[in-house]
Structure 1
Amino acid sequence: MKYVRITSIDNPLFAKMYELLQTVFPEEEVLEFELWKEPLQDPNLRVCVAVLDDHVVGATEYRYYPDMNVAMTDFTIIGKEGLGIGRFLMEHREKDLLDMAAKHGNKLLGMFAEIYDPYRVQDHSFGGIKPMDPYVRREVLSHIGYRKLNFPYVHPSWKNDGEAVSALDFCFLSYSHKGDSLPADLIVRFLQTYYAILPNKSDAWHDMIKNLKTKTEVELLPI
């Protein structure tokens, strides 16, 4: 199995990965094909695939923000069971992120992730791929060390239609960060930066940001 970074939508592996994205995730979670062109060229963003016999059997997207010294894992897709794809992707992603932080003279603070809460919404089929079952994913991410940030979370739809997407928790995996809370201003700064690409945001999202700005710290809870 090979770990391959994709830097162009013209790479044939990107089309294969995008098809996997559309199979696994609901429409509002998938950015339009052409809109990937510029992000793929960002030196601090990675879209990487697990390739086996010329087939894309898994994928992960993540990014590093040197000015905040945090990372974000956008998605991890396991396209086939029984191959150890999840661990393969996690190990390569972690090494890459730690290397990126070190090149900026940092020890990675931690990594954000949006994690589905299947106990609130149970209709995510994820393309019928069992390792992608939200109950399984949630427990795996808990084992890795992710904790949820204690505030009601919504994010803008990737369809850029101004709708709010809920039934997810905003979570954080600590690396060099110590403690059971995270500064609220870091969360606000990150979310405003991360979703700057989507100009159409719901009132619910703006209210969430406004409420976060009234806080000093946000508690980290088990998931």
Structure 2
Amino acid sequence: MEYHRITSIEDPLFAKMHRLMQEVFPPEEVLEYSLWKEPLEDPGIRVFVAVHEGEVVGATEYRYYPDFNVAMTDFTIIGRPGLGIGRYLWKNRQTDLHELAAQSGQKLFGMFAEIYDPYLGNDHEFGGVKPMNPYVRREVLSHLGYKVLDLEYVHPSWNNDGEAVEGLNLGFMPEDDNISELDTRLVTSFLHRYYSVLPNKPEAWNRMVAELEAKDMVALLPI
């Protein structure tokens, strides 16, 4: 298997990755094809695919914010069972993130991720790919050390239509498993930065951020 970085929509593997995304994610979670041009060319956004026998069988997108010393996992796709794709993507991503943190003279503090919560009725089929089952994903993320922030989470739709997407948790995996809460300034600063590309914020998102800004800390709860 090859861990290949995609930096252009002209890369023939990008079309395969985008098709895989459309197969496993709901439409409001997938950025339109042509709109990927600038993100892929952004050196801070890291998009990698797992390539097996010439086919894209997995993918992950993530980024590292040196001023916050945290990472964000945008998505992880496991396209086939039985190839160890999840572990392969995880190990390569962690190695890359630790190197990025070291380059800025830091040790990675932790990583955010938006996590589907099927217990809220958000039971996506994910194209019928069993490793992508949201119950399985939550348990895997728990094993890796992810916790969820104690708040009712929504995020702006990637359709940029001002709609709020519900049915997810905001997760965080601290490198130090003893950390049980986060400074809300870190959380709100991260959310403002991450969603700065979407000008049409839903009112539910604005309320959520305002409520966070009124607090000092937010608890991290077990999954």
Q: Corresponding residue for 1:130?
A: 130
Is the 1:184–1:216 contact (alpha carbons within 8 Å) kept by the matching residues of 2? Answer: yes
Indicate the SS of the match to 1:211.
helix
CA distance in 1, matches of 2:138, 2:57: 21
Unaligned ranges ≥5, structure 2: none
Correspondence for 1:60? 60
Identity %: 62
2:159 aligned residue:
159
Match of 1:111 in 2: 111
Q: Which amino acid aligns with 1:136?
A: V
CA gap of 1:162–1:202, structure 2 versus 1, over 3 A, is same
Question: How far did 1:83 drift?
Answer: 0.4
Shift of 1:38: 1.1
1:107·1:176 contact (CA, 8 Å) conserved in 2? no
Q: Which runs of 4+ in 1 moved over 3 A?
A: none
Residues 138-163 of structure 1: CA distance to partner in whole angstroms, max 9, x if unpaired? 00000000000001100000011100
In structure 1, C-alpha distance between the alignment counterparts of 2:111 and 2:37, rounded to whole Å: 24
Tell me what 1:5 maps to. Answer: 5
Q: How many residues align?
A: 223
State the alpha-carbon separation in 2 of the partners of residues 115 and 31 from structure 1: 18
Match of 1:102 in 2: 102
1:22 aligns with 2:19: no
- Greater displacement, 32-41 / 110-119: 32-41
Q: Is the 8 A contact 2:124 2:134 kept in 1?
A: yes
Deviates most, 122-131 or 57-66? 122-131
Counterpart CA distance in 2 for 1:185 and 1:122 is: 29
* In structure 2, C-alpha distance between the alignment counterparts of 1:14 and 1:80, rounded to whole Å: 18
Q: What amino acid is aligned across from residue 60 of structure 2 in structure 1?
A: T
Q: Which amino acid in the other structure matches residue 206 of structure 1?
A: N
**1:77 aligned onto 2:77:** yes
AA at the equivalent of 2:84: G
- CA-to-partner distance for each residue in 1:167-195, whole Å, 9 max, x for gaps? 10001001158521000010000000000
Contact persistence 1:112–1:170 (CA under 8 A):
yes
Distance 1:14 1:179 in 2: 37
In 2, Cα distance between equivalents of 1:79 and 1:3: 14
Contact 1:117–1:169 (Cα < 8 Å) also in 2: yes
CA RMSD of aligned residues (A): 1.0
Cα distance in 2 for partners of 1:56, 1:160 equals: 28
8 Å Cα contact 2:116/2:122 also seen in 1:
no
Deviation of 1:43 (Å): 1.7
Report the Cα offset of residue 123 of structure 1: 3.5
User: Structure 1 residue 85: deviation in Å?
Assistant: 0.2
Alignment check: 8 A CA contact 1:59 1:78 kept: yes
Q: Deviations over 1:9-65 (max 9, x none)?
A: 110000000000000000010111111111112222110000011000000000000
Asked if residue 196 in structure 1 is aligned to residue 196 in structure 2, the reply is yes
Aligned residue for 1:91?
91
Gaps of 5+ in 1: none
3-state secondary structure, aligned to 2:218: strand
Using the size of structure 2 for normalisation, the TM-score is 0.98
- Name the CA distance, whole Å, in 2 between partners of 1:9 and 1:86: 24
- TM-score, reference length from structure 1: 0.98
2: CA distance, partners of 1:42 / 1:65:
13
Pairwise CA distance, 1:122: 4.2
